[in-house]
Amino acid sequence: MSQKVAVLGTGKIGEALLSGMIRAGWTPADLLVTARRPERAEELRARHGVTPVTNAEAAKTADTLILTVKPQDMGTLLDELAPHVPADRLVISGAAGIPTAFFEERLASGTPVVRVMTNTPALVDEAMSVISAGTHASAEHLAHAEEIFGAVGKTLRVPESQQDACTALSGSGPAYFFYLVEAMTDAGILLGLPRDKAHDLIVQSAIGAAVMLRDSGEPPVKLRENVTSPAGTTINAIRELENHGVRAALIAALEAARDRSRELASGNN
């Protein structure tokens, strides 16, 4: 962990990653950050003990560059970095929809690039980060990316061809669960519960269900069947979900998210 790592464009996810790395044993002095606003950079220094630098300084100094700017800003950032990034630097992209070839074409020939799609549970060390290798990235580079993102949750290696699907499922995934909890909370209020009590009931049920899915080894259909007694309340609710096409709507929604990720990759912002 003596290598220097720079996080460029350090927003909420970038800061969560820094915080997790420090807890995992990285030395703050080996962590560099860049931010659009100087006051943001100083805030990161005060909070975490990391070193604010310019993008060019990060490219010259760090062994690993983690690019966390928005997809639409990535081209401009690469134009700024390209003159300063040696071919032995590991570049990790956290931008949705942008393929590793986009970086390889703009950086020195042979630059290793790793693509990572993480999600907002990184803020609570429960991220799902999906990792893919570019043309020049080795197993060692992938392991280093796993070490970094493993500080804030789980990691999974996939071929880059599966990244758009993973973006639809796990990158955007937390929003779907928040949407479901929002709808269930409204239903609880309609059924006569105060909002705070409905919220607590649903959130704890969601946590319990998630732990069962993770730890029981049972497929979700089996766990659902265990709750669904003949002619009971649950099967009546499931019938209404099916009547309203909820399953089909979810599939269509995930396909739409995947398609948008592909559009971002093609430059259609």
* Residue 136 CB neighbour total at 10 angstroms: 18
Q: What is the pLDDT of residue 268?
A: 63
Share of the chain above pLDDT 90, in %: 92
pLDDT higher than 90, residue 267: no
Model pLDDT, residue 269: 64
pLDDT value of position 2: 63
Spatial distance between the Cα atoms of 185 and 105, rounded to a whole number of angstroms: 48
Cα–Cα distance measured from residue 76 to residue 81, given in angstroms and rounded to the nearest whole number? 9
Q: 109 Cβ partners below 8 Å, 6+ apart?
A: 87
Residue 266, pLDDT > 90, answer: no
Give the per-residue pLDDT at 261.
87
Which pair of tokens denotes residue 259?
Answer: 């398609």
Q: How far apart are CA 51 and CA 167, in angstroms?
A: 31
Question: 16-48 burial, b if ≥16 CB within 10 A, otherwise e?
Answer: bbbbbbbeeebeeebbbbbbeeeebbebbeeeb
Phi, psi of 211, deg, nearest 5:
-65, -40
Report pLDDT digits (tens) over 191-203. Answer: 999 999 999 999 9
* 69 pLDDT higher than 70: yes
> What value does the mean pLDDT of the chain take?
95
The rounded distance, in Å, linking the Cα atoms of 155 and 151 is 10
Query: Which pLDDT band holds residue 1 (cuts at 50, 70, 90)?
Result: very low
Please count the CA atoms within 13 angstroms of the CA of 158 that sit on its side-chain side.
18
Going by the DSSP 8-state scheme, the letter that residue 245 receives in this structure is T
As a whole number, mean pLDDT of residues 185-213 equals 97
Nearest to 44 by CA among 4, 91, 6: 6
Q: What is the largest CA-CA distance in the chain?
A: 68
Residue 237 has pLDDT above 50, yes or no: yes
Minimum mean pLDDT range among 17-21, 94-98, 199-203: 94-98
Would the pLDDT of 224 be above 70? yes
Average pLDDT over residues 3-17: 94
* Alpha helices, DSSP H, located in the chain: 12-23, 38-48, 55-61, 74-81, 100-104, 139-149, 163-166, 173-190, 195-215, 220-227, 233-243, 246-265
Distance separating alpha carbons of residues 89 and 141, to the nearest angstrom: 10
pLDDT per residue over 130-181, tens digit each?
999 999 999 999 999 999 999 999 999 999 999 999 999 999 999 999 999 9
- What band does 15 get if pLDDT is binned at 50, 70 and 90? very high
**How far is Cα 249 from Cα 234, in angstroms, rounded to an integer?**
20
